[in-house]
Amino acid sequence: MLQLGLELIVQYPTPAAYRCRGFRGISVPEGIFIALDGQTVQDQPAAQQIGEAFCAEIVRWKGVVEESRMPCSGQLRGVDCHALKVDSCRKLLVAVMGNNASTSTSTWPAPSAARHWPAKVPDDKYEVLPVLPTGVPVDPTVPSNWRHLNIGFWHRTPADVLPSVIQRAGLSQGENRVFISYCRKDTSDLAEQLFIELTKAGFDVFLDRFSVPIGVDFQNQLQQDLSDKAMVILLNSPGVKHSRWVTEEIATVKRYRLGLYELCVPDMPGRLDVDADFRRKLAAADLDSSGKELTASMLANVVGEIKLHHASALHRRRYELSDNFAKALSDAGHGGSPMGDGSFLVPSRTKPGTECVVAFTPRPPALGNFCNFHIRHGLGSHRLGYLLSPAPNFLASRQAELAWLGSLSYISHVDETQLSTLAQII
């Protein structure tokens, strides 16, 4: 455990010194230290921008507390921290390269992460995420011992790589997932272009031609994959209103309150059932010479908007569950107290001497959710766990998998259709 009970420490350069910020209330099985550092002094403003954007996102998470008094007073002359001496702590360097400075660099500290990482990698506790602006050549910009890594790129500002940093830090738990809904005869090329670009950006993307195995029940698989996503990207084209599949997909979006981002092809009016704030209307100039795919600049804009809307949808979906469960507990006349990571600790009325921890996932849980939940809360015969998710499972194989995981871990999965029942019987 890190000093002061911290679970996450973030360091990034400022003109005066390296700033050090610590956080608690993050559901991670072990501490993590994230250092952001430039390859050169000219790269330090970009490293600061990513660091500040990362911390701004973390403090928005429910239950997260930022420590006001850091062990190092929050200011250091270089990348250094007591966390580097904690064997169980993961260390992630976000190595910012490419001379993307937008302000004077005359007063900035020289990069110092090179003292720690080159000799340690590939130690599994020392990890590196190199990030570059689009168009900068990897060789010779990136040190030779890091060129085999999957590199993050930004298009407009360094903060574009924020989802990649969160994912690499293990804080997103693989939650960057979207579903593309489209009419194949109208927008097949556009759908495939978005599939490729979003996959590069770290998203798990559902596109029917790549994602549905041959020989399975298409309807059940469709419902399951929709429930596993936080947001649907609708490519609105003339054929959409006649598509049975798109109609059912949009109905599912509304039923389970998923996020929805509408991308309208040129001359296509927006749908009345989609908020205009979540819509982009394309013009002919936004398409390349083929007229079937986005230009490079528009593709970057669309992917950036999808990232923002996805983060908002994920946040809303998780905390709707938390708020609804708190109300269900109150309606049932049952006591319970929220914990630092957003879960609830509830004394069991049906099993005297036993307490229950109820946690929330924005989609049906996977193995990682069970592992993190069990480790964090020390579950056992006298402390039972419940994972509450928004939508039911439509595949019998998934239901059986979750039941099997539950039997091994003292954790039961409950979907939101059973929320009131859980509050009554817990």
pLDDT (tens digit per residue) in 56-101: 888 877 668 898 888 787 777 788 888 888 887 889 999 998 765 5
Q: Within this chain, do residues 343 and 419 fall inside the same structural domain, yes or no?
A: yes
Q: ∠ CA(139), CA(140), CA(146), 5° rounding?
A: 70
Looking at the chain, the whole-number percentage of residues with pLDDT higher than 70 is: 89
Pair of tokens at residue 49: 């921008």
> What mean pLDDT comes out for the span 119-146?
78
Q: Report which of residues 143 and 8 the model is more confident about.
A: 8
**Residue 291 confidence class, pLDDT cut points 50, 70, 90:** very high
Query: Any idea which of 49-63, 100-114, 185-199, 243-257 has the lowest mean pLDDT?
Result: 100-114
Instruction: Pick the closest to residue 162 from 60, 281, 39, 24 (CA basis).
Output: 60
Is 122 part of any domain? yes
Task: Give tens-digit pLDDT for 197-220.
Answer: 988 877 888 887 544 444 545 566
pLDDT classification of 10: cutoffs 50, 70, 90: very high
Domain CATH code at residue 309: 3.40.50.10140
What does each C-alpha distance from 256 to 182, 232, 274, 317, 417 come to in angstroms?
19, 11, 15, 9, 11
- Tell whether 201 and 53 lie within a shared domain: no
What single letter denotes the amino acid at residue 351? K
Question: Does any domain span residue 322?
Answer: no
CA distance 25 to 393: 29
Residue 368 lies in a domain: yes
Compute how many other C-beta atoms are within 10 angstroms of the C-beta atom of residue 185: 10
The b/e string for 96-120 (b: 16+ C-beta within 10 A; e otherwise) is bbbbbbeeebeebbebbbeebbeee
Q: Is residue 323 part of a domain?
A: no
Phi, psi of 265 (to 5 degrees): -70, 160
Does 412 map to a domain?
A: yes
Q: What's phi and psi for 89, nearest 5 deg?
A: -90, 130
| Token pair for 36 | 């952001």
Half-sphere exposure in the Cβ direction for 118 (13 Å, CA):
9
Counting the structural domains of the chain, the total is: 3
- The answer to whether residue 320 is domain-embedded is no
Q: Are residue 292 and residue 372 in the same domain, yes or no? A: no
Give the count of beta carbons closer than 10 Å to the beta carbon of residue 405: 20
Domain that holds residue 164: 3-168
Q: At which of 252, 283, 314 does a domain end?
A: 314
185 and 164 within one domain: no
Same domain assignment for residues 305 and 204: yes
Question: What pLDDT shows up at residue 218?
Answer: 56
Which amino acid, one-letter code, is at 43?
D
Residue 324 three-state SS? helix
One domain for residues 338 and 295: no
Give tens-digit pLDDT for 409-426: 899 998 888 888 999 888
* Lowest-confidence region among 38-47, 216-225, 243-252: 216-225
Residue 327 domain-assigned (yes or no): no
> What's the CA dihedral at 155, 206, 293, 308 to 10 degrees?
-40
| 342 shares its domain with 261 | no
Q: Let me know whether 245 and 361 are in one domain.
A: no
Which tokens go with 198? 């979003």
Cα angle for residues 254, 406, 31 (degrees, 5° grid): 85
CA distances from 28 to 32, 85, 172, 329, 371 (A): 8, 19, 10, 26, 10
104: three-class secondary structure by DSSP:
coil
Pair 79, 18: CB distance under 8 Å: yes
Domain annotation covers residue 319: no
Whether residue 277 sits in one domain with residue 182: yes
Q: Tell me the C-alpha distance between 87 and 119, whole Å.
A: 16
DSSP 398: H
Q: Residue 37 has what pLDDT?
A: 93
- Other beta carbons within 10 angstroms of residue 123's beta carbon come to 10
As given in the structure block, the two tokens for residue 293 are 């795919």
Domain boundary among 136, 168, 200: 168
Could you report the per-residue pLDDT of 153-169, keeping only the tens digit for each?
Answer: 887 788 888 877 887 78
Residues 153, 63, single domain; the answer is yes
Dist. CA 201–CA 426, nearest whole Å: 41
Final residue belonging to a domain, choices 168, 187, 215? 168
Residues comprising the chain, all counted: 426
Q: Any residues with CB less than 8 A from the CB of 11 and at least 6 apart, and which?
A: 18, 19, 20, 21, 33, 34, 35, 36, 51, 76, 79, 81
Q: What is the pLDDT of residues 344-363, one digit of tens each?
A: 999 998 888 899 999 988 77
Identify the CA nearest to 75 among candidates 16, 124, 118, 121: 16
The kind and range of the H/E element at 247 are helix 244-255
Query: What is the spatial distance between Cα 414 and Cα 112, in angstroms, rounded to a whole number?
Result: 48
Query: 114 and 153, same structural domain?
Result: yes
Mean pLDDT confidence for 10-16:
93
Same domain, 106 and 58: yes
